[in-house]
Amino acid sequence: MSVRRPFRTKEQRASDRKQYLSEYYQQSEVKQRRHDNALRRCYGITWNDKVRMYHEQRGLCGFCGEPLDLEISKAHVDHNHETMEVRKLLHKHCNSTIGVFERKPELIDVLRGYLERSHAIRESESRSVFQYSQEGT
């Protein structure tokens, strides 16, 4: 006599599958394989190439020179969007900044002007505060 399995609704089966896949994709070897496949597909490099780049850059961002995360998978691969040539590993925010300025180079001058005006305002405010404090003594 066979034992009947309890009836599972479609929603329960979907929930079971979702739970299984969630656990499956959290396995380190699966994460590694998926990361390697994404690197090959997007940039034509392997995980080992990325690790080599990380060590060649001494764990430093290729743009700002600050330390990258110790978890190499968090380093972003900078590449030329026209030629697809891989350049360096960067922080996420450094890579985004380069992307913005690559698409709109005129924003570099806009940013420079913005920062100069902001700096001038801060200097004039600090002089005003200094003069005010001198007058009060």
Give the model confidence (pLDDT) of 63-108 as tens digits. 999 999 999 989 999 999 889 999 999 999 999 999 999 999 999 9
Spatial separation of the C-alpha atoms in residues 108 and 123, rounded to whole Å: 22
- The CB-side HSE value for 71 (13 A sphere, CA atoms) comes to 6
Residues with Cβ within 8 Å of residue 34, at least 6 apart in sequence: 25
47, 35 in Cβ contact below 8 A?
yes
Q: What is the pTM of this model?
A: 0.66
Q: What is the mean pLDDT of residues 2-19?
A: 80
> Residue 95: is it exposed, middle or buried by C-beta count within 10 angstroms (0-12/13-18/19+)?
buried
pLDDT tens for 25-45 read: 677 787 788 888 999 999 999
Q: Where are the domains of the chain?
A: 13-103, 105-137
Q: What is the pLDDT of residue 74?
A: 93
Multiple choice CATH, 13-103, 3.50.20.10, 3.40.720.10, 3.40.50.300, 3.40.1800.10: 3.40.1800.10
